[in-house]
A and B are shown apart, each in its own frame.
Chain A
Protein backbone atom coordinates (compact mmCIF):
# COMPACT_ATOMS: atom_id res chain seq x y z
CA UNK A 1 0.00 0.00 0.00
CA UNK A 2 1.26 3.47 -0.72
CA UNK A 3 2.68 5.43 2.14
CA UNK A 4 2.03 9.13 2.27
CA UNK A 5 5.18 10.66 3.60
CA UNK A 6 5.57 13.72 1.40
CA UNK A 7 4.79 16.65 3.67
CA UNK A 8 3.69 18.71 0.65
CA UNK A 9 0.76 16.32 0.28
CA UNK A 10 -0.46 16.67 3.81
CA UNK A 11 -2.94 19.48 3.40
CA UNK A 12 -4.67 18.05 0.35
CA UNK A 13 -4.61 14.61 1.88
CA UNK A 14 -6.44 15.87 4.93
CA UNK A 15 -9.23 17.11 2.68
CA UNK A 16 -9.47 13.66 1.12
CA UNK A 17 -9.60 11.95 4.54
CA UNK A 18 -12.11 14.39 5.97
CA UNK A 19 -14.40 13.89 2.98
CA UNK A 20 -14.17 10.12 3.48
CA UNK A 21 -14.94 10.60 7.18
CA UNK A 22 -18.01 12.68 6.36
CA UNK A 23 -19.48 9.85 4.32
CA UNK A 24 -19.58 7.59 7.36
CA UNK A 25 -22.45 7.41 9.82
CA UNK A 26 -21.33 7.80 13.46
CA UNK A 27 -21.06 4.58 15.46
CA UNK A 28 -20.51 2.40 12.37
CA UNK A 29 -18.18 -0.59 12.05
CA UNK A 30 -15.41 0.39 9.65
CA UNK A 31 -12.54 -1.49 8.02
CA UNK A 32 -9.79 0.70 6.56
CA UNK A 33 -7.77 -1.27 4.03
CA UNK A 34 -4.31 0.22 3.65
CA UNK A 35 -4.69 2.36 6.73
CA UNK A 36 -1.08 3.61 6.81
CA UNK A 37 -0.21 5.13 10.18
CA UNK A 38 -3.86 5.09 11.24
CA UNK A 39 -4.58 8.81 10.72
CA UNK A 40 -8.05 8.24 9.27
CA UNK A 41 -9.00 5.52 11.77
CA UNK A 42 -8.00 7.82 14.59
CA UNK A 43 -10.12 10.66 13.24
CA UNK A 44 -13.04 8.27 12.84
CA UNK A 45 -12.72 6.77 16.32
CA UNK A 46 -12.13 10.04 18.14
CA UNK A 47 -14.58 12.29 16.30
CA UNK A 48 -17.22 9.90 15.06
CA UNK A 49 -17.14 7.11 17.64
CA UNK A 50 -16.84 4.37 15.05
CA UNK A 51 -15.62 0.83 15.78
CA UNK A 52 -12.59 0.68 13.51
CA UNK A 53 -10.22 -1.96 12.18
CA UNK A 54 -7.36 -1.63 9.79
CA UNK A 55 -5.16 -3.60 7.43
CA UNK A 56 -1.75 -2.23 6.51
CA UNK A 57 1.06 -3.66 4.45
CA UNK A 58 4.01 -1.93 6.09
CA UNK A 59 4.99 -3.36 9.44
CA UNK A 60 6.12 0.06 10.58
CA UNK A 61 2.65 1.47 9.92
CA UNK A 62 0.98 -1.45 11.74
CA UNK A 63 3.18 -1.10 14.78
CA UNK A 64 2.53 2.65 14.92
CA UNK A 65 -1.23 1.98 14.75
CA UNK A 66 -1.19 -0.67 17.47
CA UNK A 67 0.91 1.54 19.73
CA UNK A 68 -1.82 4.18 19.24
CA UNK A 69 -4.37 1.63 20.41
CA UNK A 70 -5.92 0.97 16.99
CA UNK A 71 -6.95 -2.56 15.95
CA UNK A 72 -4.75 -3.06 12.91
CA UNK A 73 -3.30 -6.21 11.37
CA UNK A 74 -0.49 -6.64 8.91
CA UNK A 75 -1.71 -7.74 5.52
CA UNK A 76 -2.68 -6.57 2.05
CA UNK A 77 -5.84 -6.08 0.06
CA UNK A 78 -4.93 -8.76 -2.48
CA UNK A 79 -4.50 -11.61 0.00
CA UNK A 80 -6.14 -10.90 3.30
CA UNK A 81 -9.68 -9.78 2.48
CA UNK A 82 -10.65 -13.43 1.91
CA UNK A 83 -10.72 -13.96 5.68
CA UNK A 84 -13.34 -11.36 6.40
CA UNK A 85 -16.96 -12.49 6.63
CA UNK A 86 -19.81 -11.13 4.47
CA UNK A 87 -21.39 -7.97 5.87
CA UNK A 88 -18.81 -7.85 8.66
CA UNK A 89 -18.62 -4.06 8.44
CA UNK A 90 -20.86 -1.11 7.67
CA UNK A 91 -18.12 0.54 5.58
CA UNK A 92 -14.92 -0.72 4.03
CA UNK A 93 -12.51 2.02 3.00
CA UNK A 94 -9.84 1.72 0.34
CA UNK A 95 -8.09 5.06 0.43
CA UNK A 96 -5.46 5.80 -2.26
CA UNK A 97 -4.71 2.12 -2.53
CA UNK A 98 -6.74 0.52 -5.32
CA UNK A 99 -4.11 1.46 -7.91
CA UNK A 100 -1.49 -0.46 -5.92
CA UNK A 101 -3.44 -3.73 -5.81
CA UNK A 102 -2.69 -6.67 -8.04
CA UNK A 103 -6.31 -7.40 -8.90
CA UNK A 104 -8.51 -4.32 -8.39
CA UNK A 105 -11.63 -6.07 -9.66
CA UNK A 106 -11.35 -8.89 -7.08
CA UNK A 107 -10.46 -6.41 -4.34
CA UNK A 108 -13.48 -4.25 -5.17
CA UNK A 109 -15.67 -7.35 -5.14
CA UNK A 110 -14.40 -8.16 -1.63
CA UNK A 111 -15.05 -4.61 -0.43
CA UNK A 112 -18.67 -4.84 -1.57
CA UNK A 113 -19.03 -8.29 0.03
CA UNK A 114 -17.48 -7.42 3.40
CA UNK A 115 -18.99 -3.96 3.77
CA UNK A 116 -22.56 -2.81 3.36
CA UNK A 117 -20.93 0.17 1.70
CA UNK A 118 -17.48 0.72 0.23
CA UNK A 119 -15.58 3.98 0.01
CA UNK A 120 -12.83 4.07 -2.58
CA UNK A 121 -10.53 7.00 -3.27
CA UNK A 122 -7.80 7.08 -5.87
CA UNK A 123 -5.68 9.45 -7.97
CA UNK A 124 -7.39 10.05 -11.31
CA UNK A 125 -5.13 9.15 -14.22
CA UNK A 126 -7.54 10.94 -16.53
CA UNK A 127 -6.68 14.36 -15.04
CA UNK A 128 -5.62 16.88 -17.69
CA UNK A 129 -2.06 17.09 -16.37
CA UNK A 130 -1.60 13.37 -16.85
CA UNK A 131 -2.97 13.63 -20.35
CA UNK A 132 -0.74 16.63 -21.01
CA UNK A 133 2.46 14.91 -19.88
CA UNK A 134 1.76 11.76 -21.82
CA UNK A 135 0.51 13.56 -24.93
CA UNK A 136 3.05 16.36 -25.25
CA UNK A 137 6.06 15.09 -23.34
CA UNK A 138 5.63 11.46 -24.21
CA UNK A 139 6.56 10.40 -20.69
CA UNK A 140 4.79 8.67 -17.84
CA UNK A 141 3.26 11.42 -15.71
CA UNK A 142 4.87 12.45 -12.45
CA UNK A 143 2.77 14.78 -10.33
CA UNK A 144 2.50 16.01 -6.78
CA UNK A 145 0.06 13.22 -5.94
CA UNK A 146 1.89 10.54 -7.92
CA UNK A 147 5.44 11.63 -7.33
CA UNK A 148 7.21 8.38 -8.17
CA UNK A 149 8.78 7.44 -11.49
CA UNK A 150 7.41 4.51 -13.46
CA UNK A 151 10.21 2.21 -12.30
CA UNK A 152 9.84 2.69 -8.56
CA UNK A 153 6.12 3.15 -8.01
CA UNK A 154 4.00 0.66 -6.07
CA UNK A 155 1.08 1.67 -8.29
CA UNK A 156 0.50 -1.00 -10.91
CA UNK A 157 -3.11 -0.45 -11.97
CA UNK A 158 -3.75 3.19 -12.67
CA UNK A 159 -7.26 4.10 -13.76
CA UNK A 160 -9.31 7.11 -14.67
CA UNK A 161 -12.59 8.12 -13.08
CA UNK A 162 -14.37 6.86 -16.18
CA UNK A 163 -12.58 3.50 -15.99
CA UNK A 164 -13.54 3.12 -12.35
CA UNK A 165 -17.20 3.92 -13.05
CA UNK A 166 -17.17 1.29 -15.76
CA UNK A 167 -15.73 -1.32 -13.35
CA UNK A 168 -18.38 -0.46 -10.76
CA UNK A 169 -21.07 -1.05 -13.39
CA UNK A 170 -19.44 -4.35 -14.36
CA UNK A 171 -19.69 -5.44 -10.74
CA UNK A 172 -23.34 -4.40 -10.73
CA UNK A 173 -22.71 -2.08 -7.84
CA UNK A 174 -24.29 1.31 -7.30
CA UNK A 175 -22.55 4.67 -6.92
CA UNK A 176 -24.21 6.63 -4.12
CA UNK A 177 -21.87 9.59 -4.14
CA UNK A 178 -18.96 10.86 -6.20
CA UNK A 179 -16.62 13.57 -5.03
CA UNK A 180 -13.71 14.85 -7.11
CA UNK A 181 -11.01 17.23 -5.91
CA UNK A 182 -8.97 19.44 -8.18
CA UNK A 183 -5.22 19.80 -7.95
CA UNK A 184 -5.57 22.34 -5.12
CA UNK A 185 -7.80 20.07 -3.10
CA UNK A 186 -11.00 21.97 -3.90
CA UNK A 187 -14.22 20.08 -4.52
CA UNK A 188 -15.63 20.10 -8.02
CA UNK A 189 -19.39 20.78 -8.12
CA UNK A 190 -21.52 17.72 -7.33
CA UNK A 191 -23.55 18.22 -10.50
CA UNK A 192 -20.49 18.31 -12.79
CA UNK A 193 -20.56 15.91 -15.72
CA UNK A 194 -18.50 12.73 -15.69
CA UNK A 195 -16.29 14.17 -18.46
CA UNK A 196 -15.58 17.26 -16.42
CA UNK A 197 -14.78 15.26 -13.28
CA UNK A 198 -12.49 13.06 -15.32
CA UNK A 199 -10.51 16.00 -16.73
CA UNK A 200 -10.37 18.30 -13.72
CA UNK A 201 -10.52 15.86 -10.82
CA UNK A 202 -7.07 14.97 -9.55
CA UNK A 203 -8.47 12.70 -6.85
CA UNK A 204 -11.82 10.95 -6.72
CA UNK A 205 -13.82 9.50 -3.84
CA UNK A 206 -16.69 7.09 -4.45
CA UNK A 207 -19.30 5.82 -2.03
CA UNK A 208 -20.53 2.47 -3.34
CA UNK A 209 -22.99 -0.20 -2.37
CA UNK A 210 -24.02 -3.53 -3.75
CA UNK A 211 -26.61 -3.47 -6.49
CA UNK A 212 -30.14 -4.74 -5.93
CA UNK A 213 -30.23 -4.10 -2.19
CA UNK A 214 -32.63 -1.83 -0.41
CA UNK A 215 -31.40 0.38 2.40
Chain B
Protein backbone atom coordinates (compact mmCIF):
# COMPACT_ATOMS: atom_id res chain seq x y z
CA UNK B 1 0.00 0.00 0.00
CA UNK B 2 2.84 2.41 0.71
CA UNK B 3 4.21 2.13 -2.81
CA UNK B 4 0.73 2.66 -4.19
CA UNK B 5 0.45 5.86 -2.22
CA UNK B 6 3.88 6.91 -3.40
CA UNK B 7 2.84 6.30 -7.00
CA UNK B 8 -0.22 8.48 -6.68
CA UNK B 9 1.68 11.23 -4.93
CA UNK B 10 3.75 11.46 -8.13
CA UNK B 11 0.67 12.55 -10.10
CA UNK B 12 0.52 15.97 -8.49
CA UNK B 13 3.80 16.16 -6.60
CA UNK B 14 6.41 14.38 -8.67
CA UNK B 15 9.97 13.90 -7.44
CA UNK B 16 11.29 15.92 -10.37
CA UNK B 17 11.27 19.39 -11.84
CA UNK B 18 7.91 20.69 -13.06
CA UNK B 19 6.81 23.61 -15.20
CA UNK B 20 3.23 24.85 -14.98
CA UNK B 21 1.45 26.65 -17.81
CA UNK B 22 -1.57 28.62 -16.64
CA UNK B 23 -5.10 29.00 -17.99
CA UNK B 24 -3.87 31.94 -20.08
CA UNK B 25 -1.44 29.64 -21.95
CA UNK B 26 -3.47 26.62 -23.09
CA UNK B 27 -2.29 23.69 -25.18
CA UNK B 28 -4.41 23.28 -28.32
CA UNK B 29 -4.94 19.53 -28.79
CA UNK B 30 -5.63 17.61 -32.01
CA UNK B 31 -9.11 16.77 -30.71
CA UNK B 32 -9.90 20.51 -30.64
CA UNK B 33 -9.80 20.99 -26.87
CA UNK B 34 -7.68 23.72 -25.28
CA UNK B 35 -6.04 22.05 -22.30
CA UNK B 36 -5.24 24.36 -19.41
CA UNK B 37 -3.72 24.51 -16.93
CA UNK B 38 -0.93 22.17 -17.94
CA UNK B 39 1.91 20.77 -15.88
CA UNK B 40 4.94 19.13 -17.47
CA UNK B 41 7.22 17.11 -15.18
CA UNK B 42 10.78 16.59 -16.32
CA UNK B 43 14.34 15.74 -15.33
CA UNK B 44 17.57 17.15 -16.67
CA UNK B 45 21.12 15.80 -16.58
CA UNK B 46 24.40 17.50 -17.47
CA UNK B 47 24.82 21.19 -18.21
CA UNK B 48 23.32 23.36 -20.92
CA UNK B 49 26.18 25.15 -22.69
CA UNK B 50 26.31 28.91 -23.18
CA UNK B 51 25.14 28.62 -26.80
CA UNK B 52 22.24 26.38 -25.69
CA UNK B 53 23.22 24.02 -28.48
CA UNK B 54 23.91 20.74 -26.65
CA UNK B 55 20.42 19.73 -25.48
CA UNK B 56 19.17 16.20 -26.13
CA UNK B 57 15.52 15.36 -25.54
CA UNK B 58 15.04 11.71 -24.55
CA UNK B 59 11.51 10.52 -25.27
CA UNK B 60 10.15 7.71 -23.14
CA UNK B 61 8.07 4.74 -24.24
CA UNK B 62 4.48 3.86 -23.31
CA UNK B 63 4.93 3.14 -19.61
CA UNK B 64 8.15 5.09 -19.11
CA UNK B 65 8.63 8.39 -17.34
CA UNK B 66 11.01 11.30 -16.90
CA UNK B 67 13.40 9.31 -14.70
CA UNK B 68 15.68 8.35 -17.58
CA UNK B 69 18.93 8.10 -15.63
CA UNK B 70 18.15 8.44 -11.95
CA UNK B 71 16.54 6.17 -9.40
CA UNK B 72 12.81 5.83 -9.89
CA UNK B 73 11.05 7.47 -6.93
CA UNK B 74 8.43 4.70 -6.68
CA UNK B 75 10.29 1.51 -7.56
CA UNK B 76 13.78 2.54 -6.46
CA UNK B 77 15.16 0.99 -9.65
CA UNK B 78 17.71 2.65 -11.98
CA UNK B 79 16.39 4.96 -14.70
CA UNK B 80 14.86 3.33 -17.76
CA UNK B 81 17.76 4.35 -20.03
CA UNK B 82 20.48 4.23 -17.41
CA UNK B 83 22.68 2.21 -19.79
CA UNK B 84 22.40 4.84 -22.53
CA UNK B 85 22.38 8.15 -20.62
CA UNK B 86 25.01 9.30 -18.15
CA UNK B 87 28.64 10.39 -17.80
CA UNK B 88 30.70 8.60 -20.46
CA UNK B 89 27.64 6.72 -21.73
CA UNK B 90 26.64 6.91 -25.45
CA UNK B 91 24.40 9.89 -24.62
CA UNK B 92 27.18 11.45 -22.59
CA UNK B 93 26.00 13.86 -19.89
CA UNK B 94 29.56 15.21 -19.60
CA UNK B 95 28.97 16.66 -23.02
CA UNK B 96 25.23 16.94 -23.53
CA UNK B 97 22.36 18.42 -21.56
CA UNK B 98 19.75 15.69 -21.43
CA UNK B 99 16.07 16.45 -20.85
CA UNK B 100 13.37 13.87 -20.33
CA UNK B 101 9.75 14.89 -19.77
CA UNK B 102 6.87 12.75 -18.63
CA UNK B 103 4.46 12.65 -21.59
CA UNK B 104 1.10 14.33 -21.70
CA UNK B 105 -1.57 11.89 -20.49
CA UNK B 106 0.79 9.97 -18.23
CA UNK B 107 0.83 9.77 -14.44
CA UNK B 108 4.23 10.83 -13.16
CA UNK B 109 3.57 14.54 -12.87
CA UNK B 110 2.62 15.71 -16.35
CA UNK B 111 -1.10 16.43 -16.71
CA UNK B 112 -3.11 13.30 -17.41
CA UNK B 113 -6.40 11.58 -16.58
CA UNK B 114 -5.45 11.15 -12.91
CA UNK B 115 -4.67 14.86 -12.50
CA UNK B 116 -7.25 17.14 -10.92
CA UNK B 117 -9.73 18.66 -13.37
CA UNK B 118 -9.98 22.32 -12.34
CA UNK B 119 -13.61 22.37 -13.50
CA UNK B 120 -14.71 19.75 -10.95
CA UNK B 121 -11.92 19.62 -8.38
CA UNK B 122 -11.78 15.84 -8.92
CA UNK B 123 -9.55 13.57 -11.03
CA UNK B 124 -10.31 13.94 -14.75
CA UNK B 125 -10.89 10.25 -15.38
CA UNK B 126 -12.52 9.87 -18.79
CA UNK B 127 -13.24 13.60 -18.90
CA UNK B 128 -9.60 14.03 -19.88
CA UNK B 129 -9.40 14.81 -23.60
CA UNK B 130 -7.95 12.12 -25.88
CA UNK B 131 -4.39 13.07 -26.71
CA UNK B 132 -2.12 12.18 -29.65
CA UNK B 133 1.59 11.74 -30.17
CA UNK B 134 1.58 15.19 -31.78
CA UNK B 135 -0.05 16.64 -28.65
CA UNK B 136 2.68 15.04 -26.52
CA UNK B 137 5.29 16.66 -28.74
CA UNK B 138 3.51 20.03 -28.53
CA UNK B 139 3.66 19.80 -24.74
CA UNK B 140 7.36 18.93 -24.91
CA UNK B 141 7.93 21.91 -27.23
CA UNK B 142 6.35 24.19 -24.61
CA UNK B 143 8.84 22.82 -22.09
CA UNK B 144 11.76 23.33 -24.50
CA UNK B 145 10.58 26.92 -25.11
CA UNK B 146 10.37 27.40 -21.35
CA UNK B 147 13.97 26.19 -21.00
CA UNK B 148 15.00 28.77 -23.60
CA UNK B 149 16.25 26.22 -26.11
CA UNK B 150 15.70 27.09 -29.76
CA UNK B 151 17.19 24.00 -31.42
CA UNK B 152 17.58 20.59 -29.83
CA UNK B 153 20.89 18.95 -30.70
CA UNK B 154 19.09 15.61 -30.76
CA UNK B 155 15.75 13.98 -30.05
CA UNK B 156 16.06 10.27 -29.24
CA UNK B 157 13.77 7.51 -28.09
CA UNK B 158 12.42 4.03 -28.69
CA UNK B 159 8.95 2.62 -29.37
CA UNK B 160 6.37 5.32 -28.50
CA UNK B 161 9.42 7.52 -27.83
CA UNK B 162 10.50 6.85 -31.42
CA UNK B 163 7.10 8.01 -32.64
CA UNK B 164 7.66 11.26 -30.75
CA UNK B 165 11.10 11.58 -32.37
CA UNK B 166 9.56 11.25 -35.84
CA UNK B 167 6.80 13.71 -34.94
CA UNK B 168 9.36 16.22 -33.64
CA UNK B 169 11.34 15.97 -36.91
CA UNK B 170 8.15 16.45 -38.93
CA UNK B 171 6.55 19.21 -36.81
CA UNK B 172 9.67 21.20 -35.94
CA UNK B 173 12.30 20.41 -38.60
CA UNK B 174 14.29 23.55 -37.82
CA UNK B 175 14.41 22.77 -34.11
CA UNK B 176 15.83 19.24 -34.41
CA UNK B 177 19.48 19.03 -35.48
CA UNK B 178 19.58 15.25 -35.25
CA UNK B 179 17.12 12.48 -34.48
CA UNK B 180 17.40 8.87 -33.30
CA UNK B 181 14.13 6.95 -33.74
CA UNK B 182 14.58 3.42 -32.38
CA UNK B 183 12.39 0.32 -32.75
CA UNK B 184 9.46 2.36 -34.01
CA UNK B 185 7.25 3.05 -37.02
CA UNK B 186 5.56 5.97 -38.74
CA UNK B 187 2.22 4.41 -37.94
CA UNK B 188 0.83 1.87 -35.52
CA UNK B 189 0.01 -1.44 -37.19
CA UNK B 190 -3.40 -3.09 -36.93
CA UNK B 191 -1.77 -5.96 -35.03
CA UNK B 192 -0.43 -3.51 -32.48
CA UNK B 193 -3.80 -1.74 -32.21
CA UNK B 194 -5.28 -5.19 -31.60
CA UNK B 195 -2.93 -5.90 -28.70
CA UNK B 196 -3.69 -2.49 -27.23
CA UNK B 197 -7.40 -3.16 -27.46
CA UNK B 198 -6.93 -6.39 -25.49
CA UNK B 199 -5.19 -4.39 -22.77
CA UNK B 200 -7.82 -1.67 -22.68
CA UNK B 201 -10.64 -4.21 -22.55
CA UNK B 202 -8.91 -5.94 -19.63
CA UNK B 203 -8.81 -2.62 -17.74
CA UNK B 204 -12.39 -1.68 -18.56
CA UNK B 205 -13.68 -5.17 -17.71
CA UNK B 206 -12.37 -4.82 -14.15
CA UNK B 207 -15.40 -3.95 -11.95
CA UNK B 208 -13.14 -1.65 -9.93
CA UNK B 209 -12.53 0.52 -13.00
CA UNK B 210 -15.98 2.11 -12.37
CA UNK B 211 -16.27 3.73 -15.79
CA UNK B 212 -12.91 5.41 -15.25
CA UNK B 213 -14.05 6.99 -11.95
CA UNK B 214 -12.03 4.68 -9.69
CA UNK B 215 -10.02 7.48 -8.08
CA UNK B 216 -13.21 9.31 -7.12
CA UNK B 217 -14.90 6.13 -5.92
CA UNK B 218 -11.86 4.91 -4.02
CA UNK B 219 -11.21 1.69 -5.95
CA UNK B 220 -8.38 0.51 -8.22
CA UNK B 221 -8.73 -1.69 -11.34
CA UNK B 222 -5.47 -3.44 -10.47
CA UNK B 223 -6.43 -6.86 -11.82
CA UNK B 224 -7.44 -5.51 -15.22
CA UNK B 225 -4.33 -3.35 -15.50
CA UNK B 226 -2.12 -6.26 -14.46
CA UNK B 227 -3.63 -8.44 -17.20
CA UNK B 228 -3.12 -5.63 -19.72
CA UNK B 229 0.52 -5.41 -18.70
CA UNK B 230 0.98 -9.18 -18.89
CA UNK B 231 -0.33 -9.30 -22.45
CA UNK B 232 1.75 -6.29 -23.51
CA UNK B 233 4.88 -7.60 -21.83
CA UNK B 234 4.84 -10.69 -24.05
CA UNK B 235 4.96 -8.47 -27.11
CA UNK B 236 8.06 -6.69 -25.77
CA UNK B 237 10.04 -9.94 -25.68
CA UNK B 238 10.69 -12.58 -28.30
CA UNK B 239 10.05 -16.28 -28.58
CA UNK B 240 13.80 -16.97 -28.45
CA UNK B 241 14.32 -14.79 -25.39
CA UNK B 242 11.36 -16.35 -23.56
CA UNK B 243 12.58 -19.82 -24.45
CA UNK B 244 16.12 -19.08 -23.32
CA UNK B 245 15.01 -17.52 -20.06
CA UNK B 246 12.12 -19.78 -19.06
CA UNK B 247 11.56 -22.63 -21.48
CA UNK B 248 8.93 -24.86 -19.85
CA UNK B 249 10.65 -24.72 -16.47
CA UNK B 250 8.41 -25.14 -13.46
CA UNK B 251 8.28 -22.62 -10.64
CA UNK B 252 9.34 -23.93 -7.19
CA UNK B 253 7.99 -27.42 -7.82
CA UNK B 254 8.95 -30.76 -9.33
CA UNK B 255 5.73 -31.58 -11.18
CA UNK B 256 2.67 -29.78 -12.46
CA UNK B 257 -0.19 -29.36 -9.96
CA UNK B 258 -3.07 -30.10 -12.29
CA UNK B 259 -4.53 -26.72 -11.38
CA UNK B 260 -4.22 -23.06 -12.30
CA UNK B 261 -1.46 -21.94 -10.00
CA UNK B 262 1.57 -20.45 -11.67
CA UNK B 263 3.16 -23.83 -12.36
CA UNK B 264 5.47 -22.48 -15.02
CA UNK B 265 8.19 -19.90 -14.41
CA UNK B 266 6.91 -17.79 -17.27
CA UNK B 267 3.49 -17.56 -15.57
CA UNK B 268 4.93 -16.44 -12.31
CA UNK B 269 7.21 -13.99 -14.13
CA UNK B 270 4.25 -12.41 -15.95
CA UNK B 271 2.17 -12.25 -12.76
CA UNK B 272 5.05 -10.48 -11.07
CA UNK B 273 5.35 -8.04 -13.99
CA UNK B 274 1.62 -7.33 -13.82
CA UNK B 275 1.57 -6.81 -10.06
CA UNK B 276 4.56 -4.50 -9.88
CA UNK B 277 3.24 -2.49 -12.82
CA UNK B 278 0.00 -1.55 -11.06
CA UNK B 279 2.04 -0.09 -8.22
CA UNK B 280 3.62 2.50 -10.48
CA UNK B 281 1.10 3.12 -13.24
CA UNK B 282 -2.38 4.55 -13.61
CA UNK B 283 -5.02 2.51 -15.44
CA UNK B 284 -6.63 5.45 -17.23
CA UNK B 285 -3.23 6.71 -18.37
CA UNK B 286 -2.71 3.27 -19.88
CA UNK B 287 -5.93 3.71 -21.89
CA UNK B 288 -5.00 7.20 -23.09
CA UNK B 289 -1.41 6.46 -24.00
CA UNK B 290 -2.20 3.26 -25.90
CA UNK B 291 -4.85 5.25 -27.78
CA UNK B 292 -2.32 7.92 -28.69
CA UNK B 293 -0.07 5.25 -30.21
CA UNK B 294 -3.00 3.69 -32.09
CA UNK B 295 -3.89 7.03 -33.67
CA UNK B 296 -0.33 7.67 -34.81
CA UNK B 297 -0.08 7.74 -38.62
CA UNK B 298 2.45 10.32 -39.70
CA UNK B 299 1.98 9.84 -43.45
CA UNK B 300 -1.77 10.48 -43.12
CA UNK B 301 -0.98 13.98 -41.84
CA UNK B 302 1.06 14.63 -44.98
CA UNK B 303 -1.25 13.61 -47.79
CA UNK B 304 -0.54 9.90 -47.40
CA UNK B 305 3.10 10.22 -48.45
CA UNK B 306 5.50 9.76 -45.58
CA UNK B 307 8.38 11.41 -47.47
CA UNK B 308 6.39 14.68 -47.41
CA UNK B 309 6.67 14.69 -43.62
CA UNK B 310 10.44 15.10 -44.04
CA UNK B 311 10.57 17.28 -47.15
CA UNK B 312 13.60 19.61 -47.15
CA UNK B 313 14.58 18.29 -43.73
CA UNK B 314 18.13 19.13 -42.72
CA UNK B 315 17.90 16.91 -39.66
CA UNK B 316 20.42 14.06 -39.49
CA UNK B 317 18.66 10.78 -38.72
CA UNK B 318 19.89 7.51 -37.28
CA UNK B 319 17.19 4.83 -37.42
CA UNK B 320 17.77 1.70 -35.33
CA UNK B 321 15.82 -1.57 -35.40
CA UNK B 322 16.23 -5.04 -33.91
CA UNK B 323 16.08 -8.36 -35.77
CA UNK B 324 13.81 -10.09 -33.22
CA UNK B 325 11.41 -7.17 -32.62
CA UNK B 326 7.99 -8.39 -33.72
CA UNK B 327 6.10 -5.43 -32.23
CA UNK B 328 7.96 -2.87 -34.35
CA UNK B 329 9.70 -5.05 -36.92
CA UNK B 330 12.62 -3.86 -39.02
CA UNK B 331 10.29 -3.46 -41.98
CA UNK B 332 8.38 -0.58 -40.34
CA UNK B 333 11.64 1.13 -39.44
CA UNK B 334 12.86 0.59 -42.97
CA UNK B 335 9.77 2.33 -44.34
CA UNK B 336 10.84 5.40 -42.39
CA UNK B 337 14.32 5.07 -43.91
CA UNK B 338 12.86 4.78 -47.43
CA UNK B 339 10.79 7.91 -46.86
CA UNK B 340 13.82 9.78 -45.55
CA UNK B 341 15.84 8.69 -48.60
CA UNK B 342 13.05 9.81 -50.88
CA UNK B 343 13.04 13.17 -49.12
CA UNK B 344 16.82 13.40 -49.62
CA UNK B 345 17.38 13.50 -45.86
CA UNK B 346 20.65 12.54 -44.28
CA UNK B 347 19.87 9.14 -42.77
CA UNK B 348 21.74 6.22 -41.29
CA UNK B 349 20.06 2.94 -40.55
CA UNK B 350 21.30 0.03 -38.49
CA UNK B 351 19.54 -3.20 -37.73
CA UNK B 352 20.91 -4.76 -34.57
CA UNK B 353 21.16 -8.53 -34.47
CA UNK B 354 19.67 -9.65 -31.16
CA UNK B 355 17.20 -12.23 -29.87
CA UNK B 356 15.84 -10.00 -27.12
CA UNK B 357 12.90 -8.54 -29.02
CA UNK B 358 11.42 -5.05 -28.80
CA UNK B 359 12.81 -4.34 -25.34
CA UNK B 360 16.35 -4.58 -26.72
CA UNK B 361 16.49 -0.78 -26.93
CA UNK B 362 16.46 -0.66 -23.12
CA UNK B 363 19.10 -3.36 -22.71
CA UNK B 364 22.84 -3.78 -23.02
CA UNK B 365 23.31 -3.92 -26.81
CA UNK B 366 26.93 -2.91 -27.55
CA UNK B 367 26.35 -2.53 -31.29
CA UNK B 368 23.47 -0.13 -30.67
CA UNK B 369 25.62 1.86 -28.25
CA UNK B 370 28.49 2.00 -30.77
CA UNK B 371 26.17 3.19 -33.54
CA UNK B 372 24.55 5.88 -31.39
CA UNK B 373 27.89 7.01 -29.99
CA UNK B 374 29.37 7.29 -33.48
CA UNK B 375 26.31 9.05 -34.86
CA UNK B 376 26.22 11.60 -32.01
CA UNK B 377 29.97 12.16 -32.29
CA UNK B 378 29.68 12.97 -35.97
CA UNK B 379 26.61 15.17 -35.42
CA UNK B 380 28.40 16.99 -32.58
CA UNK B 381 31.31 17.74 -34.91
CA UNK B 382 28.89 19.07 -37.50
CA UNK B 383 27.21 21.19 -34.82
CA UNK B 384 30.56 22.50 -33.62
CA UNK B 385 30.23 21.04 -30.14
CA UNK B 386 33.49 20.58 -28.28
CA UNK B 387 34.63 17.12 -27.25
CA UNK B 388 33.68 16.11 -23.70
CA UNK B 389 35.84 17.18 -20.81
CA UNK B 390 37.86 14.22 -19.58
CA UNK B 391 36.61 12.84 -16.29
CA UNK B 392 39.40 11.93 -13.85
Contact = CB atoms under 8 A, between A and B. Distances in A.
Interface string A28-49: 0000000000000000000000
Interface stretch (A14-22, A64-72, A129-137, A168-176): A64-72
A126 B350 CA distance: 38
A69 B367 contact: no
A62 B341 CA distance: 16
A171 to B, nearest CB: 23
Interface in A72-92: 72-74, 80, 83-85, 88
Contact of B341 (A65, A67, A70, A73): A73
B338 interface: yes
Contact of A74 (B316, B350, B381): B350
Contacts of B381: 69
Interface of A is mostly: mixed
Contacts of B379: 69
B342 A62 contact: no
A63 interface: yes
Nearest to B374: A67
Given A62-B349, A83-B342, A69 B374 contact: yes
B370 A84 contact: no
A53 interface: yes
Interface in B334-392: 337-339, 341-344, 346-353, 367, 370-371, 373-375, 377-379, 381
A153 interface: no
Contact of A66 (B338, B343, B371): B371
B306 to A, nearest CB: 11
Interface hub of B347, B352, B374 (most chain A Cβ within 10 A): B374
B354 to A, nearest CB: 12
A72 B374 contact: no
A70 B344 contact: no
A88 B346 CA distance: 11
Contacts of A70: 348, 378
B344 A73 contact: no
A9 interface: no
A59 interface: yes
A66 B352 CA distance: 12
Contact of A73 (B347, B352, B353, B377): B347
B318 interface: yes
Contacts of B375: 66, 69
Nearest to B378: A69
B351 A59 contact: yes
B346 A53 contact: yes
Contact of A83 (B341, B352, B367): B341
Given A59-B351, A63-B370, A66-B318, A73 B337 contact: yes
Contacts of B351: 59, 62, 74
B338 A83 contact: yes
A49 B296 CA distance: 39
Given A69-B378, A73-B337, A73-B341, A59 B350 contact: yes
Given A59-B350, A59-B351, A74-B351, A67 B342 contact: no
Nearest to B375: A66
A62 B346 contact: no
Nearest to B369: A67
Contacts of B373: 67
B371 A63 contact: yes
Given A59-B353, A63-B367, A71 B342 contact: no
B151 to A, nearest CB: 19
Contacts of A67: 370-371, 373-374
Contacts of A69: 374-375, 377-379, 381
A71 B347 contact: yes
Given A69-B379, A80-B338, 17 more contacts: A51-B346, A53-B346, A53-B347, A62-B348, A62-B350, A63-B352, A65-B348, A67-B374, A69-B374, A69-B375, A69-B377, A71-B316, A73-B337, A73-B348, A74-B351, A83-B339, A85-B342
Interface of A: 51, 53, 59, 62-63, 65-74, 80, 83-85, 88
13 contacts: A62-B349, A63-B367, A67-B370, A69-B374, A72-B349, A73-B348, A73-B349, A74-B351, A80-B338, A83-B338, A83-B342, A84-B341, A84-B342
